[in-house]
């Protein structure tokens, strides 16, 4: 028994199109190969593209010619028997549009074809079996996302071994009449779907996308997709998205301790996340969710991403359950944050309003952490999705000193023209004395930012962002 070649992966002029040379082991019975071996191939640079369907095209005669079809999914093409001349042309929106390459495939060669790259082949032998793995199921709803180009396009200029006008070339009528390259509408990239687009983080994501001119984001508000509805994900074609950012949450911490609030918190923060995981499993979609300092008991002065979960109240318990559901997915980012400040009602706006009205508040001074401005949370999300960071959990707040809520209130008063002496510091016990149904709070909420900084994202100091937020 001998191996024809070692497993190796080569790049091509078309970005993301990879050629794999496969070991083929021969003996007197025939040959054997590992046509798809996830662990070995991904270690050499092949994307972990999660194939879900395997198709085989058997071609009876030499000269059968198929393509160029660019589909909204990735493909891993190979030959089980015979030989083909394969050709590919980039039909994706971007600078590589129209770039092409070609190579001969036998059982020892396979090609990874990214979404949006047109794939074509011509059989060079009778009884050729052409095989391909894809990472999405065919759907009639996806047919309008296909992109085609004519096999004889002079710009692509593929040197077909058998002339397309030859009598022994078998082509479909559709392939013969596909448009030339200059008439092709490029395939747009898969989008990022944002759920909960009307919340503080959702609004910040929309504003960040608009400010940077991104056209790859789609935003669903609660009216578009209500996570309390068990059927809210029905009808969504996940193959159209490369990532889903779930910015929807039930954040009423004290209400979560009531009978009705407990049900809503579990429904939105935990059950809906589990349904999202099930709905997107096997689609290759990256899931992004948001966690909270409330998943910890506040005993540690500085919380790392790998600290064991120990929530004190119902809200924290439901967020922890959502975290665990997301962690069951390989492609996931969990953004753990605290003390969020964005558009709409929040602590900073409340303190600013009190200062403007001349009200002197009593503010808790024994809960310590750092604010997280929604604008920087949104920046961190896009940084992770657009870069090469490893999947997993990342703490994201603004940088700077750890302070109490009372310290933040004093800073708001100082920046807004008031006096720091107008803020009276009280303990959590004093602040909530005589009130029922109050959720327990972690007293120490400072999150360690080392991991997100190592991933190339450095959040600005919270005091600087506060002044910008208040327009000073």
Q: Are residues 228 and 83 in the same domain?
A: no
Q: Is-contact 459 395, C-beta < 8 A?
A: no
Model confidence at 35: pLDDT above 80: yes
Sign of CA dihedral 278, 280, 281, 282: positive
The per-residue pLDDT for range 200-250, each reduced to its tens digit, is: 999 999 999 999 999 999 999 999 999 999 999 999 989 889 999 999 999
Return the CATH number at 249. 3.40.50.720
* Residue at a domain's end among 119, 149, 183: 183
Region 259-281: mean pLDDT is 97
For the question of residue 132 being annotated catalytic, the response is yes
Provide the token pair at 59. Answer: 């071609």
Residue at which a domain ends, from 136, 161, 183: 183
What residues does 118 pair with on adjacent strands? 89
Same domain? For 198 and 250 the reply is yes
Are 23 and 145 contained in the same domain?
Answer: yes
User: Do both 152 and 201 map to the same domain?
Assistant: no
Same domain, yes or no: 164 and 210: no
Q: What is the mean pLDDT of the chain?
A: 95
Q: What is the pTM of this model?
A: 0.87
Identified catalytic residue from 69, 178, 303, 332: 69
pLDDT per position as a tens digit, 287-334: 999 999 999 999 999 999 999 999 999 999 999 999 999 999 999 999
Of 454, 359, 449, nearest in space to 413 by CA: 359
Secondary structure of 138-207 in HEC code, one letter for each residue: CCHHHHHHCEECCCCCCCCCCCCCCCCCCCCCECCHHHHCCCCHHHCCCECCCEEEEECCCCHHHHHHHH
Same domain, 288 and 373: yes
Helix, coil or strand: residue 115: coil
Instruction: Answer yes or no: 137 catalytic.
Output: no
**Spatial strand order in the sheet of 24-27:** 2-3, 24-27, 30-33
Percent of the chain surpassing pLDDT 70 = 98
Domain span at 124: 2-183
Q: CA-to-CA distance for 93 and 190, rounded, in angstroms?
A: 11
* 43 three-class SS: helix
Same-domain status, 301 and 429: yes
CB 247 within 8 A of CB 290: yes
Q: Which of 54, 130, 132, 332 is an active site residue?
A: 132
Cα–Cα dist 40/7, whole Å: 8
CATH number for 77: 2.60.120.10
- 257 and 405 part of one domain: yes
Does the structure show a pLDDT above 90 at 120? Answer: yes
Judgement on whether residues 445 and 382 belong to the same structural domain of the protein: yes
Kindly state whether residues 210 and 268 are assigned to the same domain.
yes
Beta-carbon count within 10 A of 332 CB? 20
What is the rounded CA–CA span in Å between residue 50 and residue 53? 10
pLDDT digits 0-9 by tens, 40-95: 999 999 998 889 899 999 999 999 999 899 998 999 999 999 999 999 999 999 99
Q: Distance from CA of residue 123 to its chain's centroid?
A: 38
Same domain, 134 and 235: no
Kindly state the DSSP code that residue 444 receives in the 8-state scheme: B
217 and 97 in a common domain: no
Question: What span, in angstroms and rounded, lies between the C-alpha atoms of 409 and 368?
Answer: 13
Domain boundary among 123, 158, 183: 183
Number of domains, the chain: 2
Neighbouring residues of 278: CB distance < 8 A, sequence distance ≥ 6: none
């Amino acid at each position: 028994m001998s191996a024809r070649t070692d497993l190796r992966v080569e790049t091509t002029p078309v970005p993301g199109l990879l050629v794999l040379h496969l070991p083929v082991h021969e003996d007197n019975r025939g040959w054997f190969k590992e046509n798809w071996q996830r662990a070995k191939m991904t270690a050499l640079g092949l994307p972990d593209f999660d194939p879900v369907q395997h198709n085989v095209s058997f071609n009876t005669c030499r000269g059968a010619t198929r393509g160029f079809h660019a589909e909204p999914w990735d493909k891993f093409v190979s030959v089980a028997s015979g030989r083909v001349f394969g050709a590919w042309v980039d039909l994706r929106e971007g600078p590589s549009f129209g770039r092409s390459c070609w190579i001969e495939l036998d059982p020892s060669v396979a090609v990874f074809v990214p979404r949006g790259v047109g794939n074509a082949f011509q059989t060079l032998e009778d009884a050729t079996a052409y095989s391909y793995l894809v990472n999405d199921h065919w759907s009639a709803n996806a047919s309008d996302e296909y992109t085609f180009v004519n096999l004889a396009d002079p710009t692509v200029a593929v040197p077909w071994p058998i002339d397309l006008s030859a009598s022994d070339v078998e082509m479909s009528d559709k392939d013969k009449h596909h448009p030339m390259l200059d008439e092709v509408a490029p395939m747009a990239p898969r989008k990022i779907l944002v759920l909960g687009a009307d919340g503080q983080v959702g609004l910040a994501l929309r504003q960040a996308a608009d400010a940077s001119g991104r056209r790859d984001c789609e935003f669903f508000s609660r009216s578009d997709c209500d996570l309390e509805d068990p059927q809210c994900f029905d009808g969504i074609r996940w193959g159209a998205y490369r990532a889903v950012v779930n910015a929807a949450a039930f954040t009423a911490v004290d209400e979560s301790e009531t009978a009705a609030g407990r049900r809503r918190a579990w429904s939105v923060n935990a059950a809906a996340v589990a349904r999202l995981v099930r709905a997107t499993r096997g689609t290759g979609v990256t899931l992004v969710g948001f966690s909270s300092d409330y998943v910890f008991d506040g005993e540690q002065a500085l919380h790392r991403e790998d600290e064991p979960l120990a929530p004190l109240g119902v809200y924290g318990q439901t967020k922890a359950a959502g975290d665990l559901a997301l962690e069951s997915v390989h492609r996931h980012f969990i953004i753990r944050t605290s003390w969020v400040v964005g558009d709409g009602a929040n602590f900073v706006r409340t303190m600013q309003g009190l200062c403007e009205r001349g009200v002197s508040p009593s503010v808790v001074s024994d809960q310590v952490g750092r604010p997280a401005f929604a604008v920087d949370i949104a920046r961190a999300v896009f940084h992770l999705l657009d870069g090469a960071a490893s999947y997993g959990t990342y703490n994201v707040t603004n940088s700077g000193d750890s302070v109490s809520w009372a310290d933040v209130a004093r800073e708001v008063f100082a920046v807004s023209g008031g006096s720091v002496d107008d803020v009276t510091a009280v303990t959590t016990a004093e602040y909530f004395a005589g009130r029922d149904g109050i959720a327990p709070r972690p007293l120490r909420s400072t999150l360690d930012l080392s991991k997100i900084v190592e991933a190339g994202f450095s959040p600005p100091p919270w005091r600087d962002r506060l002044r910008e937020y208040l327009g000073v």
